[in-house]
Amino acid sequence: MNRNKPLIVLATLAGLVLIGCLGYFTVQAKAATAQEQAQAQAAPAEAQAGGAAKPEPANVAAPADAKASAHQERIDRDNLKDFSFAKFANNVLKTTGIYAFLHQKQEALSASGRPVTVYGWQNLLMILVGLLLLWLGVAKNFEPLLLIPIGFGTLLVNVPFANMGGVSQGIPGFLKVVYEAGVGNEFFPLIIFMGIGALTDFGPLIANPKLSLLGAAAQIGVFGTVIGAVLLNLAPGFSYTLKEACAISIIGGADGPTSIYISANLAAHLLGPIAVAAYSYMALVPLIQPPIMRALTTRSERRIRMKQARPVGKTEKVMFPVIITLLTVLLIPAAAPLIGTLAFGNFIREVGIVDRLARTLQNELLNITSILLSLGVGAQMTPEKFMQPATLGIVVLGLVAFSLGSAGGILLAKAMNLFSRDPVNPLIGSAGVSAVPMAARVSHVIGQKEDPGNYLIMHAMAANVSGVIGTAIAAGVMIALFK
């Protein structure tokens, strides 16, 4: 007990000093306010008495300063008499998060630009959503590289009075700077595509080109959701344009960077909700896909062992990114930013003479950009943008699109087995979405649960990387048609 006594004394003194400082600054603030009020009251009286102020001789400056100083001293004494600890405590209480969650109310603009009222409890609810994302990332290990920054960004942007996602006195908050620096202007998504290209081995796809059909089939979810978004307009509270429907539909590819890119081009006001939905479904691939895979396949289909692919030479790997870039330029120039950066990163990897650049793209640059991009996505998780009927419609349509895309690849793989001499395990069809490499890993894991000796990872990666290319092409087509 004696050991803790000095600490208790120091803590008590520190608390008294803090209270005294706060009281002093409160008194000074009141004094400044009173002085401004006195000057405001004096100005009309002077105007009535003498009209416009006349310049005074220099020799009367000193008496005027003395009068002002005496007047200020009287104001200070009056404010010291008016000081109330109860008022001071009340002012402190009004700056706490607890008070803001219970009483705060402010006007804001929704994702569609409509004015809405945001209440403090809505910010608290979004903070709970952020905690849920953190729990999924940390406790359940659902893509922690994505969900942890998104979850923490959600926490920070909803902190009362911090204004981290807005502008205060002309100064933008930290998360607003991050968002505007690279999320809202397409910069971060293209950097991510360069990193993905540097990490991707297109060898399995080159060795077995027919698996590219699985990536194409997964786009059924993308184009099917365009129709779904238009039909949702029949329900009250929903009103999507064709451009907005196209931007929403790319969520079906489970491709966050592509979703951000097409949103910035076709529906910038919906970029935040679309990015959040796309990255959330990317992270939840291990939860969403397995039930669909089991429902659409039999046990015997899940146990199919695929023939080992042929070796792919270096020349083929080096030429592949160049060829797809040229084809994109000739056929779908609108997709060139996405396909071009993907191909550039892959060319850097395969050419083999610039290893420093390849390592930078694969590690430092990709990691830094991923952190900033995820924080910027989390910065959009605010009540006025997220807790609206249109945004909830985006979340639902995104889930439908992703489910249709997964199912489309599986069903096409089953159809291919009717004509192919070499059977295709339908599980790899779900990897046709562009969630690299999560979807391929899930296909492999489900296959090994049925047959521990069945290795599907390379075949699933072929479908997976074709899905990346397919989603980028689908986005380019939509931009070319509707921008």
Confidence tier at 19 by pLDDT (50, 70, 90): low
**3-state secondary structure (DSSP) of residue 300:** helix
For the chain, the structural domain boundaries read 98-157, 187-482
Report pLDDT for 67.
61
Query: Phi-psi bin for 169: left (phi > 0), alpha (psi -120 to 50), beta?
Result: left
- Classify the C-alpha dihedral 108-114-115-119 as positive or negative: negative
Mean pLDDT of 214-230: 85
H/E run at residue 298: none
267 close to 479: Cβ distance less than 8 angstroms? no
Confidence tier at 354 by pLDDT (50, 70, 90): very high
Q: How far apart are CA 418 and CA 434, in angstroms?
A: 25
Asked whether residue 59 carries a pLDDT value surpassing 50, the answer given is: no
Asked whether residue 53 carries a pLDDT value surpassing 60, the answer given is: no
* Beta-bridge mates of residue 109: 115
Report pLDDT for 483.
78
H/E run at residue 299: helix 299-302
Mean pLDDT of 387-409: 85
Which residues lie closer than 8 Å to 324 by C-beta, 6 or more apart? 339, 343, 469
Report pLDDT for 147.
86
Report pLDDT for 21.
52
Q: How far apart are CA 234 and CA 257, in angstroms?
A: 30
Mean pLDDT of 360-389: 90
Average pLDDT, the chain: 83
* Beta-bridge mates of residue 168: 171
Find which of 99-113, 161-175, 212-226, 459-473 is predicted with most confidence, using mean pLDDT: 459-473
pLDDT digits (tens, 9 = 90+) for 239-282: 888 898 889 888 887 788 898 899 888 988 888 788 888 887 88
> For the whole model, what pTM was predicted?
0.78
Q: How far apart are CA 220 and CA 223, in angstroms?
A: 5
User: Rounded to the nearest 5°, which phi and psi values hold at 172?
Assistant: -70, 145
Q: How far apart are CA 41 and CA 247, in angstroms?
A: 57
pLDDT digits (tens, 9 = 90+) for 100-116: 888 888 888 776 667 88
Confidence tier at 328 by pLDDT (50, 70, 90): very high
Asked whether residue 224 carries a pLDDT value surpassing 90, the answer given is: no
Listed residue (349, 353, 325, 402) closest to 196, CA to CA: 349
- Classify the C-alpha dihedral 138-142-145-148 as positive or negative: negative
State the distance between the two ends of the chain, measured CA to CA, in whole angstroms. Answer: 74
User: Rounded to the nearest 5°, which phi and psi values hold at 55?
Assistant: -65, 140
Which of 123-137, 157-171, 354-368, 450-464 has the lowest average pLDDT? Answer: 157-171
Mean pLDDT of 149-157: 93
pLDDT digits (tens, 9 = 90+) for 424-475: 999 999 999 888 888 999 999 999 999 998 999 999 999 999 999 999 999 9
Confidence tier at 312 by pLDDT (50, 70, 90): very high
Q: How far apart are CA 47 and CA 314, in angstroms?
A: 88
Q: How far apart are CA 137 and CA 457, in angstroms?
A: 23
Amino acid found at 417: N
Asked whether residue 52 carries a pLDDT value surpassing 70, the answer given is: no
pLDDT digits (tens, 9 = 90+) for 340-349: 999 999 999 9
Which residues lie closer than 8 Å to 290 by C-beta, 6 or more apart? 442, 446
Note the residue count of the chain. Answer: 483
Mean pLDDT of 226-230: 83
224 close to 243: Cβ distance less than 8 angstroms? no
Asked whether residue 351 carries a pLDDT value surpassing 50, the answer given is: yes
